[in-house]
Amino acid sequence: MAFQCLQTTSTNKTTQTNMTNTQLQALYQTLEQASQSDDKHIQAQIHAKLGKIFLRRNTYQEASHHYHQAIALFAELGLKEQQVRSLTNLGAIKSISQRPQEALTDLETALKIAQELEDEDLQLAIYGNLGLAHAALENYVKAVRFHKKVMDAGIELEDKQMQLQAQINLADAYLQDKRPQQALGFALVAHDLAKELKTQIPLVMIFDLLGMIYSRQKDLRTAINYHQQAIDLAIEIGDPHRQAIALANKALALEALTELEDARQTMDEAQALFQMLNSEYAAKTQKDLARIQRAMSE
């Protein structure tokens, strides 16, 4: 099974995520002061901001903790819009963390509130993450339906970023459903749009996704080339998490070619990065490394 790097649907495009440790510590100090003064509004805002930061850092356990705190506080304060935003992002985390049934519960709650608020932007963000949750549950028809709702809205609104996000997720859903030709079509359209928009993080994901699609089609040399493009771009933009994912996927393609020494070295690089990042993927790479090493000793 390949490593996935999903395009989650954010509900807040302005949050800064390249925060230094000093700035992060200042947030924790503000949170402590708000706790001591029982200022629940400030507490909720800081928890939501910390959740967003840790989500972008792919540190899902910490992100989940802060979003749970934010949701409870926003609900107590009657701040429904903020509650929905946190529920939506928590649902995305649970989809990524292999807890899709829990994700559906959170996202359906968020959607009900967003519909009561008649907030279409929030509803679109929820649709994208509902698509991820259904894909994780192997409900691919529902996953595609939700992602197409987002894509159609992006076309109607002439929002190319929204279209790009939906195209990446559609390609991923079709790939998981073992329909690589359909996945390839959406991935190539997403590639061209990402180039047009000059947006690099989605392009890393698209290169890696193309690699997984070509692996599924047994064109492993092309797959390795795309994974390497993802690795190079991730290094260029300073994204070690996506670099590690692309390395791991390249290693799997090398393993399929029985180029085991190269596979071992590449997976070892991925493992080192995942461990440095305290990523949940480290356990999977450890198992993959052990399998490759056993094959080498046979």
Q: What share of the chain is helix, strand, coil (3-state, %, to 5)?
A: 80, 0, 20
pLDDT digits (tens, 9 = 90+) for 218-238: 999 999 999 999 999 999 999
Q: What is the pLDDT of residue 121?
A: 93
Q: What is the pTM (predicted TM-score) of this model?
A: 0.88
Q: Which residues of 226-248 are buried (b: 16+ CB within 10 A; e: fewer)?
A: bbbbbbebbeeeebbbbbbbbbb
Here the tokens at position 48 are: 């939501």
Domain residues of the chain, as ranges?
A: 199-298
pLDDT digits (tens, 9 = 90+) for 86-117: 999 999 999 988 899 999 999 999 999 999 99
pLDDT digits (tens, 9 = 90+) for 8-46: 555 544 333 456 678 889 999 999 999 999 999 999 999
CATH of 199-298, one of 3.90.800.10, 1.25.40.10, 3.60.150.10, 3.30.465.10: 1.25.40.10
